Amino acid sequence: MEMQMEEPVKANPSLSSEKISLNPKSIKVKVPEVEIHLFRSGKGPIDVFQSALGGWDQDRLEVYDILEKYGLKSLHAFHPGSKFRGVSIRFSPKNGRSIFPYTPGVSVYLNGEPKDSIVHPITKIVIGIAMIIFVIAVLARESSPEWLKRSFFNIKNTPMFSPWILTCIVIVFTRARKRTKDFLMKKFNR
């Protein structure tokens, strides 16, 4: 078996003399943007900024970036004069861009719902349970009915609630808190 050697290709002198400029600084492309007026729970605007549109056609809003930057859990269309929010701005979980396209150069009013803090509701539940236990303990000392005496464990004359009573208190308190939360918000925000 013989190996054949190919001749090297000679460079064309006319092509080598030309200098092709591929400097990325010389290419200027204007990225389409929209002006966003961002409100938090109907109050604000907390910020007015330009947001670049992304996606294949450069017409999708970068929703996930806005949610992360401002600590929001959801965005809704918003009309500041009416103080009512519109439909939710839906976005793709894969890339964080809006499902619906936006026209470059328009003003978009968005209302964001802040993320819930885990410390705040837990603190309310603990304080509520402590208050209920305190009231039951005071009532038990004043007048101790027979059913309440049976539900205590006496450890060195220190009354302690049985676990089933504490469980019932927690369930009733959390359900009452969830049901009255929206009612009170509607009642006092008018």
The reported pLDDT for the residue numbered 156 is 45
CA dihedral 121, 71, 73, 67 (to 10 degrees): 180
- pLDDT averaged per 10 residues, the chain (length 190): 53 51 64 91 88 89 92 88 83 90 91 83 82 77 59 50 72 73 58
Query: Domain 31-114: which CATH class?
Result: alpha beta
Q: Is the pTM of this model over 0.75?
A: no
Whole-angstrom Cα distance, residue 126 to residue 81? 39
Where do the structural domains in the chain lie, given as residue ranges?
Answer: 31-114, 119-179
Cβ(140)–Cβ(159) below 8 Å: yes
Tokens of 1: 């078996």
For helices 119-142 and 163-188, what crossing angle results, to 10°?
A: 120
Residue 103: DSSP 8-state: -
Comparing CA positions, the residue from 176, 156, 151, 155 lying closest to residue 166 is: 151
